[in-house]
Amino acid sequence: MHAESWPAEAVHAGPAPAERLPVERRVDLGVARLLPDLDRPRAWLLTMDGAPQSYVDLDDPLYLEFEYVQRLAHAADLAAPSGRPLDVLHLGGGALTLPRYLAGTRPGSRQRVAELDGALTALVREFLPWQPALGEDVQIDVRSADARAFLADAGTDSADLIVADVFGGSRIPAHLTSVEFVREAARVLRSDGLYAANVADGAPLDFARAQLATVRAVFPETCVIAEPSLLRGRRYGNLVVLAGRREFPVAELARRTAADPFPARVVHGDRLDLLVGRARPVTDATAEPSPPPPDGAFTLGR
């Protein structure tokens, strides 16, 4: 789920060609809409109950519109030597933006996706098919499953990369915010694997700080990527949390994120200690969903 505002000019008003009309459908967990981006001939924005959820360009799976997805992609690029296939577990599927990207940048990767909303996956398969468009040899296995149950069923030491990007509406479900959940991710990750999570929060960042404390209680190496204005508590938005058992190339990650169209900061080490402050890890007994976005957090062109 994308918590940044969607630029009003990106999805134009006015009629679209017949084959590019918006699509609206009630799915298992709400109302999904596919909106064509008329600036790109085969690009679509997926929303769920009005909140931007995914953006896919069928002609260019390496094109990433959302800032937080760009940051996840930077992390995936640095998770292993360039081009090396990975075993990836995606918790949360949507329109499969990142799986498509990884299929292009790391051919031969084996990707498993847990998407609770089976009707949403059917909609995406119908209008934004990933096969055969990406090639018959692309291994993206999408299952209709709860993310935590899917993780519990995964084999120990079976993944190089776990991406947690699960939202029920516009909030992260409580059972995906606890130290017990992160420990399951650590069990599934290989010793040199990377855990990446999309977190949404706003001032005073209490939820984000607690999530960082939770992840740090499990993984010895942790950092977070976010825009400076979000870190200063000036707005609601996305923070990307990265963690693992090995030292991560923070300097290279910082260089890449600073060069993005919307530059972000990588917080690590002593600065991360200051950000977390006195926040305590979340347990299953104390877990709560992420805070709802404020009114006006999402802006959609019509």
CATH number, domain of 162, equals: 3.40.50.150
- Ramachandran region, residue 173 (left: φ > 0; alpha: ψ -120 to 50; beta: rest): beta
Q: How far apart are CA 175 and CA 154, in angstroms?
A: 17
Condensed to tens digits (0 to 9), the pLDDT of residues 165-219 reads 999 888 999 999 999 999 999 999 999 999 999 999 999 999 999 999 999 999 9
Phi, psi of 252 (to 5 degrees): -70, -40
Per-residue model confidence (pLDDT) at position 300: 46
Domain-embedded: residue 77: yes
Phi, psi of 142 (to 5 degrees): -100, 125
Out of 30-39, 213-222, 293-302, which region has the weakest mean confidence (pLDDT)? 293-302
Per-residue model confidence (pLDDT) at position 49: 93
Count of the separate structural domains present in the chain? 1
Out of 7-16, 208-217, 267-276, which region has the weakest mean confidence (pLDDT)? 7-16
Domain-embedded: residue 42: no
Which residues pair with residue 265 across a beta bridge?
A: 226
Domain-embedded: residue 95: yes
Condensed to tens digits (0 to 9), the pLDDT of residues 49-107 reads 999 999 999 999 999 999 999 999 999 999 999 999 999 999 999 999 999 999 999 99
Domain-embedded: residue 184: yes
Domain-embedded: residue 120: yes
The range of the structural domain enclosing residue 170 comes to 62-276
Q: How far apart are CA 284 and CA 75, in angstroms?
A: 28
Domain-embedded: residue 20: no
Residue in 73, 132, 129 with CA at minimum distance from that of residue 106: 73
Domain-embedded: residue 17: no
Domain-embedded: residue 154: yes
